[in-house]
Amino acid sequence: MKALVIETPGVVRLREIPEPPLPEGECRVAVTLAGICRTDLELARGYMGFSGVPGHEFVGVVTAGPAHLKGKRVVGEINAPEPGPDDAGKRPHIEDPRHHVPRSVLGILGRQGAFAETLTLPPENLLVVPDGVPDDVAVFTEPLAAAMQILEQLKVPHGPRALVIGDGKLGLLIAQVLKVHGADVTLRGRHVGKLELAKRWGVAIERADGQAATDAFPLVVEATGSPRGFQEALRRSAPRGTVILKSTYAPGELPELDAAKVVVDEIRIQGSRCGRFAPALQWLAEGKIDVRGLIETRMPLAQGAEAFSLAARRGVRKVLIEIGAAN
């Protein structure tokens, strides 16, 4: 089958590779559409020493698996628990595998990803996409779930002031999520087109290349992928505020921590990663979130390497890779 493969840092190529074996009890999914996210770009730059097939934002059709899923259009939660020393070689079935040890993570850790013609996942990871949700909307389920994870982690009340730093794809989704939830949201970014998009959603905007702002916020979300973004998040946090850290960093680019600021102002730093898919898919079905405004372009798998190069350019929105028949 054809797949997009990270061979070494900075080298992404389309290759013909064997179809992955179907583990007992799992489903095979023919991938239709997949999205490139910042984590994929960081993996391509050397994050986690990754090599192989990346990709974890996808829509596809189940071609092998339980009868209730076969032939269904699905998205998939990316964390899968793997057998431990006491599991007798069988994968444990647990309610929340996001931090299970050991686990595999689609396209990130120990499991071939979605930039390929097929992938495999356990059936409990798969959610059927409602008929009214097209592929180019459903493919945003994973990043939207990551944005909504903030609401699950903090139990954010309605009405707080929140600053989102970073106008990338995830930052734009987070700003929307907090706005829909009822927060008074400001988005800090560098790209006029993206900031104007957020402004149409009722989000206040702040230019990162303008005069340094000094107002502080009880909730700050850092989604720049840059060490400087983390430092700005700490600087803009109000005393006893919370900084949500969404960025991952390539080796050698870890941010410095102003421990004095954290201790004196009693700032809470909360890491935030994967969210649950069911609430995100429901929000997409209800049309609560604008995701089509986040799409830069769609490119075929044959141009996957070029798609990665485009997605890495500053200011580019979501690049989608077409792999199978579109819905």
Q: Are residues 248 and 223 part of one domain?
A: yes
Q: Are residues 262 and 299 part of one domain?
A: no
Q: Which residue has the tokens 């700005």?
A: 232
DSSP assigned state of 117 = S
Q: What is the mean pLDDT of residues 314-324?
A: 94
CB burial readout 231-256, b (16+ within 10 A) else e:
bbbbebbbeebbbbbbbbebeeeebe
Pair of tokens at residue 33: 């559409």
Q: Are residues 74 and 56 part of one domain?
A: yes
CATH number at residue 223: 3.40.50.720
Q: Are residues 148 and 135 part of one domain?
A: no
Domains: count for the chain: 2
The closest alpha carbon to 164, from 182, 145, 183, belongs to 183
Q: Is residue 134 part of a domain?
A: yes
Q: Is residue 276 part of a domain?
A: no
What are the phi and psi torsion angles at 151 (to 5°)? Answer: -65, -35
Q: What are 59's strand-pairing partners? A: 33
Q: Are residues 186 and 95 part of one domain?
A: no
Q: Are residues 88 and 113 part of one domain?
A: yes
User: Which three-class secondary structure state does DSSP give residue 62?
Assistant: strand
Residue 235 and residue 257: Cα distance in Å, rounded? 11
Q: Is residue 73 part of a domain?
A: yes
pLDDT in tens, 182-221: 999 999 999 999 999 999 999 999 999 877 888 999 999 9
Q: Which domain holds residue 306?
A: 2-140+291-322
Q: Which residue has the tokens 């299970």?
A: 100
Q: Is residue 279 part of a domain?
A: no
Indicate whether this model's pTM tops 0.85.
yes
Q: Is residue 285 part of a domain?
A: no
Residue 89's pLDDT is what? 66
| 304-311 vs 38-45: helix crossing angle, rounded to 10 | 100
